[in-house]
């Protein structure tokens, strides 16, 4: 990662009257990076320590217990940790796919059609951005229990499909990416409205859809309140709720700390990997959305 | 806005836009409008117990008027929760957004090294769930594991700071990136004239860049305020590690306890309506104040 910055710094190395100023931003940013990387590197190293090493060796001295920690974690309640991981992938992946589909279709429609009630519908859907999740979570639980769905996968999936900010973003992308003339030309050729959406609009909106998918994926992956309220059986838990129950069970037993630390470390890997591989999409598309907002 | 095709489209589209919006509207009705309505309804109800409360029909749900709201507003524990969240929120908002702004400006400075590496590193916590972040810091706060010596980070004196630190750690990078991408969108020519006049990098940041960022700072502030008022994950996750955090530490934790532990749905509903009202008033109020202020400054 650092290798790429070397040519850049060499280019700037020629004498310049304001050069000393470059030191201040660099130092501040490096301090910021140390602060953010500190707990992550700690948890990675702590996960390698055995029970005894955790409390005795120096904070950043690697230990010898990684394999036994992993074995302990995977043996915990017959490997329920794997189930939490799979559940999280299911909730985040399924929820983000459905959410992206609904947001894209809605954003496209709100951006390209003129029809009575359009502004009303837009304001209703967007107004949801300001609704605190607290007014929703409890009645959602009660309503889903009445429907017999509380505690099931659906109870975590369904409430997270509608995402006002994604609809707003999709509308911004549709406005920017789809020229009205293209749709008109398609209509003159006799294409149906659905075909226009599928074959003309969708390819143009794909970069925006990737961003919406990523945002929703991360939001659902990180969500704690909704699954915490909805789910009772630890076989349906996502990682966040699973780790919380692990802590609640083991906080008073330092012998379980290794288990919790190893679980936390493993739970970071998938999202950080996704995040690093999708770097380009975060950057370009965030700017695409943010400029318009 | 693009009106030339207005007539043609409205004529041809017919029911199509409504069909396309049907999934979103159905989800809106089921998971947004209905729950809000139901919370409203519940907040105006209570259980009336007749006799000893035994047998069928002894417990009846009746209209309660605004009694639940009166109770919520008169509830000392809830007010204490608001005060705790106010202190915590003031720390989080100023430090998180302040750091985000500083980092964004530093990334945008001319002679910065390691920009890519530091940008990715500072944004990284965005990919860490609040529960995992709280667990990592929570263990680092424990005297038996902490590399920072024997401070009582989770004691009554420091717990607010310790909790704020988790939120600041988790939220700075995202806000930094939003501000930074907005800065990148500014044409470089904006700064050329100032540079020719001999303005320093610092002066350009203070006089040109920050004023340009005001709309995005407002937006990130509003979203951060809404998130901070509803703080739940961090205190709930830290609770098992300390006894200084009560089950009603934040207003939302009290709502959770009322609804799912003590089983008083009605006061939980009223309290959540109060939280919603406060967060709406705060975010709209803030938008208004800032708008007036910005206009006053601009003219």
Q: Do B113 and A133 touch (CB under 8 A)?
A: no
Task: State the total domains in chain B.
Answer: 1
Question: Which chain A residue has its CA at the smallest distance from B40's CA?
Answer: A135
Predicted confidence at residue B197, as pLDDT, reads 85
Show residues of chain A in contact with B265, CB under 8 Å.
138, 142
Give CA–CA dist B90/B278, Å, rounded: 16
In terms of residues, how long is chain B?
299
Q: Give the model confidence (pLDDT) of A133-182 as tens digits.
A: 777 888 899 999 999 999 999 999 999 999 998 999 899 899 988 988 88
Residue B47 counted as domain residue: no
**For residue B124, is it within any domain?**
yes
C-beta of residue A201 within 8 angstroms of C-beta of residue A178: yes
Rounded-to-integer distance, Cα A88 and Cα A82, Å: 10
Q: Which residues of A touch B115 (CB under 8 A)?
A: 5, 8, 29
What's the domain range around B139?
69-298
In angstroms, rounded to a whole number, what is the distance separating the alpha carbons of residues B9 and A279?
A: 39
* Alpha carbon separation from A47 to A66, A70, A238, B250 (Å, rounded): 6, 9, 21, 32
Model confidence over A179-233: pLDDT tens digits? 888 899 999 998 999 999 999 999 999 988 998 999 899 999 999 999 999 999 9
Q: Which residue of B has its CA nearest to A179?
A: B2
Fold of the domain spanning A74-292: MetI-like fold (1.10.3720)
From B103, B128, B135, residue closest to A260, measured CB to CB: B135
User: Which residues sit opposite B61 in a β-bridge?
Assistant: B47
Within a domain: residue B109? yes
Give the H or E element holding residue B189. helix B189-196
Quote the pLDDT of residue A287. Answer: 41
CA distances from A161 to A95, A167, B32, B268 (A): 6, 11, 11, 25
Burial A17-36 (b: 16+ CB within 10 A, else e): eeeebbeebbebbeebbebb
Q: What is the pLDDT of residue B28?
A: 95
Residue B216 sits in a domain whose CATH number is: 1.10.3720.10
B 116-135 → A contacts, CB under 8 A: 116-133, 135
Q: Does B262 touch chain A (CB under 8 A)?
A: no
Reported confidence tier of residue A293, pLDDT bands at 50, 70, 90:
very low
Question: Closest Cα of chain A to B299: distance in Å?
Answer: 23
Burial A78-92 (b: 16+ CB within 10 A, else e): eebbebbbebbeebb
Count CA atoms within 13 Å of residue A177 on its CB side.
23
Out of A2, A46, A140, the one facing B31 most closely (by C-beta) is: A140
Q: What is the pLDDT of residue B227?
A: 87
Chain A contact present for B1, CB below 8 A: no
CA dihedral over A265, A158, B283, B281, signed as positive or negative = negative
DSSP state of B207: I
Strand partners, B114: none
CB-CB under 8 Å, B27 with A244: no
For chain A, domain boundaries: 74-292
Q: Tens-digit pLDDT profile for chain B (299 aa)? A: 444 444 444 445 689 999 999 999 999 999 999 999 999 999 999 888 877 666 666 778 889 889 999 998 889 999 999 999 999 999 999 999 999 999 999 999 878 889 889 999 999 999 999 999 999 999 999 988 888 877 789 888 899 999 999 999 999 999 999 899 889 888 888 888 888 888 888 888 888 899 999 888 988 898 898 889 889 999 999 999 998 999 999 999 999 999 999 988 999 999 999 888 888 888 788 778 777 765 554 43
Asked if the Cβ–Cβ distance from A39 to B5 is below 8 Å, we say no
Q: Which of A23, A32, A41, A122 to mutate to test the interface with B (most CBs of B within 10 A)?
A: A32
Q: Each residue of A9-31: pLDDT tens digit? A: 444 444 445 455 578 899 999 99
Quote the pLDDT of residue B295.
54
| Three-class DSSP labels, B67-97 | HHHHHHHCCHHHHHHHHHHHHHHHHHHHHHH
If you compute the radius of gyration of chain A from its CA atoms, what whole number of angstroms results? 24
Considering the domain boundaries, does residue B243 fall inside one? yes
B21 assigned to some structural domain: no
Partner residue opposite B102 with nearest CB, options A28, A184, A247: A28
**pLDDT tens digit sequence for A55-101:** 888 888 888 889 999 999 999 989 999 999 999 999 999 999 999 99
Helices (H), B197-264: 201-204, 210-229, 233-238, 251-256
């Amino acid at each position: 990662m650092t290798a790429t910055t070397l040519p850049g710094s060499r280019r700037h190395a020629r004498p310049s009257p304001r050069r000393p100023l470059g030191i201040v931003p660099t130092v501040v940013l490096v301090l910021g990076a140390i602060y953010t990387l500190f707990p992550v590197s700690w948890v990675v190293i702590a996960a390698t320590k055995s029970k005894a090493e955790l409390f005795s060796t120096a904070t950043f001295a690697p230990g010898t217990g990684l394999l036994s920690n992993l074995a302990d974690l995977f043996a915990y309640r017959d490997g329920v940790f794997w189930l939490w991981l799979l559940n999280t992938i299911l909730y985040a992946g399924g929820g983000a796919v459905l959410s992206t589909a609904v947001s894209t279709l809605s954003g496209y429609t709100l951006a390209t059609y003129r029809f009575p009630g359009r502004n009303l519908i837009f304001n209703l859907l967007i107004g949801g951005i300001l609704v605190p999740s607290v007014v929703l979570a409890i009645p959602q639980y009660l309503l889903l229990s009445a429907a017999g769905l509380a505690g099931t996968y659906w109870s975590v999936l369904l409430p997270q499909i509608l995402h006002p900010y994604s609809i707003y973003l999709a509308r911004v992308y549709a406005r920017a990416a789809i020229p009205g003339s293209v749709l008109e030309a398609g209509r003159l050729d006799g294409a149906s409205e659905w075909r226009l959406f599928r074959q003309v609009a969708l390819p143009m909106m794909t970069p925006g859809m990737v961003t919406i998918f990523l945002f929703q994926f991360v939001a659902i992956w990180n969500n704690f309140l909704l699954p915490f309220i909805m789910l009772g059986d630890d076989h349906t838990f996502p990682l966040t709720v699973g780790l919380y129950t692990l802590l609640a069970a083991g906080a008073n037993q330092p012998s379980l700390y290794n288990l919790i630390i190893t679980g936390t470390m493993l739970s970071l890997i998938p999202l950080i990997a996704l995040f690093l591989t999708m770097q380009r999409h975060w950057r370009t598309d965030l700017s695409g959305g943010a400029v318009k907002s | 806005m693009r009106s030339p095709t207005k007539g043609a489209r409205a004529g041809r589209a017919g029911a199509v836009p409504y069909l396309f919006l049907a999934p979103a509207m159905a989800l809106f009705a089921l998971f947004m409008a209905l729950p809000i309505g139901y919370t409203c309804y519940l907040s105006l109800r209570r259980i009336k117990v007749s006799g000893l409360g035994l047998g069928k029909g002894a417990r009846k749900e009746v209209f309660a008027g605004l009694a639940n709201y009166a109770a919520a507003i008169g509830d000392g524990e809830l007010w204490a929760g608001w005060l705790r969240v106010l202190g915590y929120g003031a720390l989080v908002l100023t430090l998180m957004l302040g750091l985000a702004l500083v980092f964004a400006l530093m990334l945008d400075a001319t002679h910065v090294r390691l920009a890519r590496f530091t940008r990715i590193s500072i944004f990284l916590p965005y990919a860490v769930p609040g529960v995992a972040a709280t667990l990592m810091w929570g263990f680092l706060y424990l005297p038996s594991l902490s590399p920072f010596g024997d401070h009582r980070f989770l004691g009554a004196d420091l717990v607010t700071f310790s909790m704020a630190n988790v939120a600041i750690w988790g939220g700075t990078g995202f806000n930094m990136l939003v501000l930074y991408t907005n800065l990148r969108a500014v044409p470089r020519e904006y700064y050329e004239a100032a540079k020719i006049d001999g303005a320093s990098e610092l002066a350009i940041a203070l006089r040109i860049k920050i004023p340009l960022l005001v709309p995005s700072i407002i937006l990130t502030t509003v979203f951060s305020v809404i998130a901070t008022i509803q703080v739940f994950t961090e205190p709930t996750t830290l609770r098992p590690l300390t006894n200084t955090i009560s089950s009603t530490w934040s207003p939302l934790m009290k709502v959770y306890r009322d609804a799912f532990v003590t089983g008083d749905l009605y006061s939980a509903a009223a309290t959540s309506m109060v939280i919603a009202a406060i967060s709406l008033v705060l975010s709209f109020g803030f938008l208004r104040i800032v708008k007036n202020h910005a206009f006053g400054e601009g003219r």
